[in-house]
Structure 1
Amino acid sequence: MYFVGLCGLNCSGKTTVVNHFKDNKDFGALSLSDMIREELRSRNQEISRNNLRTVGNELRENYGSAVLAERVIKYVEKQTEKKNWVIDSIRHPSEAQVFIDSKYPFLFIKIDCPIEQRYKRALSRKRGEEESISFEEFKEKEDRELHSEKEYSQQLLKTFEKANITIVNEAGVEELQKKLDLAIEEFTKKLKNKDNN
C-alpha cells in the first residue's frame, strides 16, 4: 500500500486528479478536509469554505499541526481492503511530514495551473461566495491564504516545497491524466527497485 498526496491552489484540478485515481486506478480517496467536515457535522455547522478553513485551523491549534493527516492514516489502517490511497487537501507542511515519516511509501504531487484558468473554474462552479467574486478579489483572497505565517493556519507555500513533483494542469484532462500515469509509473518502478535491493 502507498499514498499519493495532493497539494495545490484552489481550482487547480485536484478533484480531477482524485477522480482519475479513484475511477481509473482503483485507489481509495480521502481528503484531509473530510476530517474537518466530520467535525463540522458533529457541531451542526454549515460546510462552507470559510468554516472548513476556520475549524481546520482550530483543530490544528488544539491537537497539533498534523492532526488531520494523523486522523486520515488511522482511518485508512482500519479499512479491511488494503489498496493505495490518494489524499487531497494537504495544506500544512506538518501534514505532509506525517505521510513522509509514515511506514507507507508516499508520492507528494503539487498540481499547478495558471490563475486565469483557475478563476474561470471558480466562477463556473458557482459555489456560494465564489459565484460573483471578481478576479481581483479572487487573487487577494488567494494571496492571504498563501502568506499566512501562523503556526496552525494553512501554510501552502511551505507545503508546496515538500512536493516531490509538480504537474502543470493547463492543457485539458487527457493531458493531465497522461502526466499522472507517467508519474505513478516512475514512482512504482522506484518502489520495485528498492524492494529488489
Structure 2
Amino acid sequence: MRIIIGVVGPIASGKSVLSKVLQQKGFARLSLSDEVREEVRSRGLEIRRDLLQDIGNEMREKFGDGYWAERLLGKIEQKKSYVIEGIRNPGEIEMLRKLGNFVLVGIDAPADKRLERALARARESDPKTLEEMKKIDERDLGMGEKTSGQQVARCMEMADYLIENNSTLDSFTQKINALLNELLTKHDEK
C-alpha cells in the first residue's frame, strides 16, 4: 500500500528538508513547482520567483485551480509512495485528495528563522531582509491574490498535520520521523 504526502508551507519553512527525509525512507519526490518551471522554460523565459508565480496563477486561472496537480497525475505510479512539494492552491489539494491515501502536512516557522535559513541556503531568488520576506509572504500566502493565485495560507488551513519548525534541524527531523511513524501505523491499520 502506498501513501502520498503533500507538503505546504511558507518560504524557507523546511519543506525540502521534510521531502529529503521522506526520500531517504523510500518515498519518490514530485514537485508542482517543477511543473511550473517546465512551463516557464518552454516559453523561453527566465526562472524567477515572480514569473513562476505569475505563470502558475495564469495556468490555474485558464485551466482550473487543480491544473498543476492534474499535470502530475500521469507521473504517479499506483504502488509507490510519494512526497509532493510545491502545493500553493486549495484546488491542487482537492485534486490530490482524489488519489486516496493522501495526507497534507503543513510546515511553519517564525519569519526570523525562515530568513536565517533563506540566507544560509543562498538561493538567488530568496529574500535578503525581513522586509523582502514579508513582501514574498504576502503574495505567497494569498494576500490580494485571486482564488486561482497563490493561497498558501488557505492550504495551511487544510493541512491534516502541522509541524512547527522553530528549533534545530535535529529537532525538526525527529518531528518528521514521529509523524511518519504515526502515518504509517494508521495506514497499516486500514
Flag whether TM exceeds 0.5 (same fold).
yes
How many pairs were matched up?
Answer: 188
Give the letter for the 1:151 counterpart.
T
1:34-81 per-residue CA deviation (whole Å, 9 max, x = no partner) reads 11111112112111111111110111011111011111122113x8xx
Q: Which residue matches 2:20?
A: 19
Q: Is the 8 A contact 2:111 2:133 kept in 1?
A: no
Question: For residues 58-69 of structure 1, what are the structure 2 equivalents within 5 Å?
Answer: 58-69=58-69
Question: Which 4+ residue blocks in structure 1 deviate beyond 4 angstroms?
Answer: none
Give the letter for the 2:98 counterpart.
D
Over the aligned positions, Cα root-mean-square deviation in angstroms equals 1.7
Q: 2:167 aligns with which of 157, 166, 171?
A: 171
CA distance in 2, matches of 1:71, 1:172: 35
Give the letter for the 1:52 counterpart.
L
Question: For residues 3-152 of structure 1, what are the structure 2 equivalents within 5 Å?
Answer: 3-22=4-23, 24-77=24-77, 82-102=79-99, 104-130=100-126, 133-146=128-141, 147-152=143-148
Q: Is the 8 A contact 2:88 2:150 kept in 1?
A: yes
Give the structure with the larger helix fraction: 1
Percent of paired sites with the same residue: 36
Cα gap change, 1:27 to 1:119, in 2 (>3 Å): same
TM value normalised by structure 1: 0.88
Which structure 1 residue ranges, 5 or more long, are not aligned? none
TM value normalised by structure 2: 0.91
Which structure 2 residue ranges, 5 or more long, are not aligned? none
Give the letter for the 2:82 counterpart.
W
